[in-house]
Structure 1
Amino acid sequence: MSTRIPIVEGLPELPATDVLDALRAAFSELAGDKAAQPPQTVTLLPGGGDVIAYQAATSDAYGVKVSPYLPQADGRAVVTAWTLLVSTRTGRPLLLCDAGALTVQRTAATSALAVDELARPGAAALAVIGSGPLARAHLRYARVVRDFTSVRMYSPSLTTAAAPEGVSVTGSAEDAVAGADVVLLCTSAAEPVIDAAGLRPGTVVTSISTNAPRAHEIAPAALASLDVYGDYRPTVTATAGEMVIAAERGLWSAGHLRGDLPELLAGTCPPPGGDRPVFFRSVGLGIEDLAVARLLLDRS
């Protein structure tokens, strides 16, 4: 007899605290060797395009997100993402969900976890570079982990009327980050958007990944002047554009990464020294997709 698999299209509203707790638990499982996180794989498609697969496993579930990038004749591309959750006890599929919105939420929540671990307890000034769905999700999650009293946002197309509540719009990225305690980079840029090395000591900068080849939101040369952390040591140093470029040019090496999220949560890596800006880079992990998919399954 067949069992109907729950299919979730879109992402139901999930409390930010629940998503953060789910990710914190998943990264802690990874730190305790109770989860597996293989590198992402890219399959090049005949005729162009590719499919990226993000996998992960815990003691009771395996998850894989497949994200096709399909160029079209009109110059645009179809980009989708689907996450499948499978029981590692029965081998049966448990959930299939449209992972587009899921990816936005897990990416923002991962950045917020890093802010919670790396930013000063009294961090009050926040800057957000970007104004799209990822930027707004980052703002939502960052406000959960710190009580920001000043929030500035910059995007070339952003107007004051379209800004989120309680956010001041600036005329440049430089104006947005001036004096900030935390800077969230949420762009699709393939080149630097701020001077990270020029920020105040202790300022935390988070950066996310995009589909652009070797994409980077800060200059590779800046890494040598920063306390650098990542989402997961084995994958971020091999994938993040600025880290790859800096290593190729002899400006920085993977051995200088101070820690990753599993290590930060387990207390097995050094905290920021306080004398330099802090940089956190995420490239996206299957363990994040798995964590949110398990949360969706609990509510389906």
Structure 2
Amino acid sequence: MVERLPHLPPGDVLHALRTAFTKLAEGSAVQPPQTLTPLPGGGDVIAYQAALDDTYGLKISPYLPRTGRSAVVTAWTLVMSTRTGRPLLLCDAHALTVERTAATSALAVDHLARPEAATLAVIGSGPQAHAHLRYARAVRAFASVRMYAPTLTEAKAPDGVTVAHSAEEAAAGADVVLLCTSAAQPVIDAAALPPGTVVTSISTNAPRAHEIPPAALPAMEVYGDYRPTVTTAAGEMVLAAEADLWSAEQLRGDLPELLTGACLPPSGERPVLFRSLGLGIEDLAIARLLKCP
């Protein structure tokens, strides 16, 4: 059992994800929808599954409320051999989830941002924000980086990062904007950004959570991590569809399609949104980098 994630070079993580999403596009990997199981008395467990080559992966993330105390939230990933049926790895998935989420966003940035993109904005200052910054720098040589969070100070900012006074100030003029918050409501007006600006959003697991206004979708070119799942669960997409503002058919592409050239790249005529929910194949791809017998 691996309880602490060892250092994984960003290049190795990005390569593992590129390979996994390419195999998903080719039909040699399987990505079922995530499932949520309500628990008697309250709480739930979300399960993320995937199959890749000769391995099967399962991540479970329980939410266990407690009276008068904070809820228990854990995450564990199991990797099993589909040749022998035996478990290969069990690991605490908290750190793994941070890495795979940030690396997925960076992979999208590498395919969606303009070649000359030089200015990066990061909204948030927690572990996800720092991981997103690290992986974004691994795919592009940004000349300028701005970060905003309500409690962020110059003393706490990462090296080479300028602290903005608001989310709007951070995003203004940026080529890429990484939203890394736990907000369940919009934090920026993405549709007001200049054409070609790439916005990534991960949001939180609150019901119908969204970091951009649903009404912004018609004015943007929208991509997601995986077409069959993102359009049915991403908060802003669900809300926009219910209001007849946007439909799943308007999703321009997903990561498997971007990696294999099966969808159109951004036109440069509108802002771009990349929305990710988190996928079992991401967990499995990175878990396979750990020491397995």
Q: What secondary structure is seen at the aligned counterpart in 1 of 2:288?
A: helix
Q: Determine which of 121, 130, 139 is the counterpart of 1:127.
A: 121
1:188 aligns with 2:190: no
Could you tell me how far 1:75 is from its partner in structure 2?
Answer: 4.2
Query: What residue is the counterpart of 2:254 in the other structure?
Result: 260
Cα RMSD of the aligned pairs, angstroms, is 0.8
Deviations 1:108-139 (A, max 9, x none): 00000000000011110000000000000000
TM-score, with length taken from structure 2: 0.99
Asked if the contact 1:10–1:100 (Cα under 8 Å) also holds between the matched residues in 2, the reply is no
TM-score, with length taken from structure 1: 0.97
1:37 aligns with 2:41: no
1:113 aligns with 2:102: no
Asked if the contact 1:209–1:284 (Cα under 8 Å) also holds between the matched residues in 2, the reply is no
Query: What residue is the counterpart of 1:270 in the other structure?
Result: 264
The 5 Å alignment of 1:2-41 reads 7-41=1-35
Identity of matched residues, %: 75
Query: What residue is the counterpart of 2:217 in the other structure?
Result: 223
Q: Determine which of 154, 178, 202 is the counterpart of 1:160.
A: 154
* CA distance in 2 between partners of 1:126 and 1:48 (Å): 41
The 5 Å alignment of 1:44-55 reads 44-55=38-49
Could you tell me how far 1:73 is from its partner in structure 2?
Answer: 1.2
1:178 aligns with 2:169: no
Query: What residue is the counterpart of 1:241 in the other structure?
Result: 235
Could you tell me how far 1:10 is from its partner in structure 2?
Answer: 2.0
* CA distance in 1 between partners of 2:203 and 2:18 (Å): 20
Q: Which runs of 5+ in 1 are unaligned?
A: 1-6
Change (3 A) 1:75 1:248: farther
Matched to 2:134, the amino acid is R
Query: What residue is the counterpart of 1:79 in the other structure?
Result: 73
* CA distance in 1 between partners of 2:158 and 2:217 (Å): 31
Aligned residues: 293
Asked if the contact 2:209–2:234 (Cα under 8 Å) also holds between the matched residues in 1, the reply is yes
Q: What secondary structure is seen at the aligned counterpart in 2 of 1:157?
A: coil
Asked if the contact 1:108–1:134 (Cα under 8 Å) also holds between the matched residues in 2, the reply is yes
